[in-house]
Amino acid sequence: MVVGVLALQGSFNEHIAVLKRLGVKGVEVRKPEQLLNVSSLIIPGGESTTMAKLAELHNLFPALREFVQMGKPVWGTCAGLIFLANKATGQKTGGQKLIGGLDCIVHRNFFGSQIQSFETELPIPQVVAEEGGPPSFRAVFIRAPAILDVGPDVEVLADIPLSAIETINSNPAIQKEEDSTESGKKVIVAVKQGNLLATAFHPELTADTRWHSYFLKMVPEIEEGTSDIVSTSTSNQSFGARSIIDFPIYQ
């Protein structure tokens, strides 16, 4: 079995490259029947409205929903997180179709527009830190969503203090959220709910492979050694971060 990467749009090549560095075969998924050949799925960042339109065009929604409901591991990064959410706010007029399954409310462009994209160091969650490495990771937020509310089965892996974000005062959405929440200080940016992992940031755009290693641990076939994994050694791990400017900016 191999790891599927939804390849309609966005940073699917970058995810496949990280998987390769970890000795795991990642394959592009564009058609419903291709989901039958993969043990797990990564939904990359990009633009969730465009991705939804393309998924509809390729008749992917029923197969994607079934994949999630079957309990197969699925990781959504950024637009992928939006795609997995049960509910999204801040959508374009007319809304957009979601796969759903992740019991949360996500704000699509919580941190603002493209120019309000940013990078920051966040503490690495304990479960992800088992891979070793430094106590923090470089979180790359590109026109990023944030999770405003989660259901009881959702485990919060990372959140971010709003005060840490430069754009806080210039972004009306953040201001509004800060006023309207009780704690008013943090938003959630990484969660796990059973077979679903979701991150508002882009680990595939850094050299730190620990989030991918963590996701691979959620895939039973890989743990049992029946997959195409070449090496589970952590010697391929790397913890450095490349700058956001090395990567294309999504529209």
Interaction mask 40-79, ligand GLN, x per CB under 6 A: -----xxxx-----------------------------xx
Q: What is the chain written as a DSSP string?
A: -EEEEE-SSSSHHHHHHHHHHTT--EEEE-SGGGGGGEEEEEE--S-HHHHHHHHHHTT-HHHHHHHHHTT--EEEETHHHHHHEEEEESPPTT-------EEEEEETTTT-SGGG-EEEEEEPPHHHHTT-S-SEEEEEESS--EEEEE-TTPEEEEEEEGGG-GGGGT-HHHHHHHHHSSS-SEEEEEEEETTEEEESS-GGGSS--HHHHHHHHT-HHHHTT-SS-----GGG-------GGGSPPP-
- Active-site residue (options: 14, 104, 131, 204): 204
Interface with ligand GLN, residue 18, by CB under 6 A: no
Interaction mask 75-114, ligand GLN, x per CB under 6 A: ---xx--x-------------------------xx-----
Pick 198 or 229: Cβ nearer ligand GLN: 198
Site for ligand GLN (CB under 6 A): how many residues?
Answer: 13
We find the least distance from the C-beta atom of residue 232 to ligand GLN, in angstroms, to be: 29
Binders of ligand GLN among residues 122 to 181 (CB under 6 A) are 142-143, 145
Q: Residue 107 catalytic? A: no
d(CA 236, CA 182): 43
Pick 133 or 145: Cβ nearer ligand GLN: 145
Tokens of 91: 């959508």
Interaction mask 180-219, ligand GLN, x per CB under 6 A: ----------------------------------------
Tokens of 123: 């503490």
**Was 210 annotated as part of a binding site?**
no
We find the least distance from the C-beta atom of residue 171 to ligand GLN, in angstroms, to be: 13
Positions marked catalytic = 78, 202, 204
Which residues contact ligand GLN by CB under 6 A? 45-48, 78-79, 82, 108-109, 142-143, 145, 250
Binding residues: 46-48, 108, 142-143
